[in-house]
Chains A and B, each alone.
Chain A
Amino acid sequence: MLAPAASATARVDHLLIAEMVAAGSRVLDVGCGDGALLQLLSDTKNVDGRGIEVSRDRVNACVARGLSVIQGDADRDLADYPDGAFDYAILSLTIQATRQPKPVLEQLLRIGRRAIVSFPNFGHWQVRAQLLFTGRMPVTENLPDAWYVSPNAHLCTIKDFANLCRVIDARVERSVAFNAWGRRLGTWVPLTMHNLLGEKAVFMLTRSQPY
């Protein structure tokens, strides 16, 4: 279980990831931002955590708070790591901002024994409704930027992502969707409903084949 203090402030998707990660494991958080997830994993699961972050200011802030973080980006720098270097390679709300999601995901599965990927679901009913009724690119709490400033180059739906997993032959160990109120959708809910009601999704993947 997580410490109550940690769970009070943390993001729901971070808390789920912290649940998925085994204590004391080696973790790489790609696109670690301000280091909140790494800090949570370090505090609650005593992981050996590393981060990659594209923004220099955020990297420096992470290092100043004692996290092991380097300046880099998912598209370019994952290739440096050896096979199976981490127990978990995490891409938290970042895949939609990469230039090439497919190779990034493949790299993630190469360097981590498991990959954990979270992303905003473009199939959420609000997104669909906005596009349908206003005829413009959706702007929601989850996707707050106008299309011309958004870093999100490759938005996808939960079904799209599940399809990519099939394309690259990754096995989905677990998938969870959160609704707009941060509640988890039950596993009994079919994928189509996840895709409609889920605002964010978290997938845990493994390779089907050894590298």
Chain B
Amino acid sequence: MNTVNQREFLKAADARLLEANTPSCDILDVPASEPLRLDCDRLLAPFRVAYKTYGALNGAKSNAILIAHALTMDQYVASENPVTGKPGWWENMVGPGKPIDTDRFFVICANILGGCMGSTGPASINPATGKPWGLDFPVITIGDMVDAQVRLIDHLGIGELFCVIGGSMGGMQVLEWASRHKERVFSAMPIATAAWHSSQNIAFHEVGRQAVMADPEWAQGRYLELGREPRNGLAVARMAAHITYLSEEALHHKFGRNLQDRDTKTFSFNADFQVESYLRHQGSTFVDRFDANCYLYITRAMDYFDLAAEHGDVLANAFKGTKTRFCVVSFTSDWLYPTRESREIVQALNAVAANVSFVEVESDKGHDAFLLDEPELSAAVRGFLNAAAGKRGLEPARETR
């Protein structure tokens, strides 16, 4: 790395480390006296939940929507990300007059436990040692993430969430909320997700983790205290993962076999093809905003997720007695969380006669479709929330803009 690049890197890393420890958003600091009992049976305290809110909580506190974010997302749903300077990751869905209408709903999004945008995670300073947690951080689960969010919802004085919405790993949190805390979830929208992580998905995650750990800069997870960074390893992990978020069709349409800024093959290992150049770019921008150890921990949490196993191998048991209204959404070209897996959730909900809608959106964008402007998804979110709001006795929507 030359000095200019190095300086750029340090600047990016600084912004990131700054956000991991002093986030530029609201925070809840849970004191040492109120530890979180993790699924691994360790106690975590003190810990911090960094969160953003949009819109206003009504007097009855009945209009709160919790958005659960995916693996590499964060709490900046509908506002500028302080590390990347980019707009929020779900601006097409969340905002005034949008399907998740902040004129109407109080939207909460917290950085997950184990994340690197201000909630306690491997990149945070461990108060016991004054050093970054690194691999001393306990292995967490989706359930632990949800339990940390429960503390936040308690802190905000909200008894029942009007809706919990999330895609991908966010959808896993939605399912966990609807199972562990059913009496606190009026409606739930798990999108592009599954009730357990498939063997294939665990396999992809393992490739990513091995790429990180094979990078000598990872330094057994102690890179932060040594002032190093496993950039190459994390970039490779991201490149591999990114392929799984797209579809063969989407890749073909976007890049085909087109060459990148050249007319002929170079007979080298440069990024001759556009798709290579694209993936390298995805890898390097990701490294600027994400922490490698966080990537290990969060992918692990997803791998461990199996809602059926938590309930005697019968998924329906997870939802027994539920009064929550559900809307399950999948995408035709999503091969990471295929429709089949959403249908299993629907079947389990039907088995307990739950109120469930199920929409399969036609899209060639693969798993990433849930983040993109898909009109059928927007219509489903809007329609489902409107109907649920009616049942919850919330004021009807004003005319859509």
Contact = CB atoms under 8 A, between A and B. Distances in A.
Do A and B truly interact? Answer: yes
A70 B358 contact: yes
Given A56-B362, A59-B358, A67 B353 contact: no
Given A80-B350, A80-B351, A86-B353, A71 B382 contact: no
B353 A82 contact: yes
Interface in B363-401: 376, 379-380, 382-384, 386-387, 390
A68 B353 contact: no
Contacts of B383: 63-66
Contacts of A68: 325, 355-357, 387
Given A64-B382, A65-B383, A56 B351 contact: no
Nearest to B329: A63
B352 A48 contact: no
Contact of B379 (A26, A60, A69, A86): A60
A113 interface: no
A82 B361 contact: no
Contact of A50 (B355, B380, B384): B355
B357 A63 contact: yes
B357 to A, nearest CB: 5
Interface residues of A, number: 23
A65 B386 CA distance: 8
Interface string A41-62: 0000000101000001001101
Interface string A75-89: 001001110011000
Interface in A86-131: 86
B346 A70 contact: yes
B359 A59 contact: yes
A63 B325 contact: no
Contacts of A70: 346, 350, 356-358
A50 B357 CA distance: 8
Contacts of A69: 357-358
B327 interface: yes
Contacts of A85: 353
Given A48-B355, A64-B379, A77-B350, A56 B360 contact: yes
Interface residues of B, number: 25
Contacts of B355: 48, 50, 68
A107 B360 CA distance: 25
B126 interface: no
Nearest to B386: A66
A188 B20 CA distance: 79
A80 B351 CA distance: 5
Contact of A66 (B352, B359, B384): B384
A71 B353 contact: no
B347 interface: yes
B356 A50 contact: yes
Nearest to B347: A80
A63 B327 CA distance: 9
B358 to A, nearest CB: 4
Nearest to A48: B355
14 contacts: A50-B356, A62-B357, A63-B380, A63-B383, A63-B384, A64-B376, A64-B383, A66-B386, A68-B355, A68-B387, A69-B357, A70-B346, A71-B360, A81-B350
Which 10 A-B pairs have CB atoms at the shortest separation, nearest pair first?
A66-B387, A85-B353, A70-B358, A64-B379, A64-B383, A80-B350, A63-B357, A68-B357, A80-B347, A66-B383
Interface of B: 325, 327, 346-347, 350-353, 355-362, 376, 379-380, 382-384, 386-387, 390
Given A66-B386, A81-B351, A82-B351, 20 more contacts: A48-B355, A50-B355, A59-B360, A60-B379, A62-B357, A63-B327, A63-B380, A64-B376, A65-B387, A66-B383, A66-B387, A68-B355, A70-B346, A70-B350, A70-B357, A72-B358, A77-B350, A81-B350, A82-B353, A85-B353
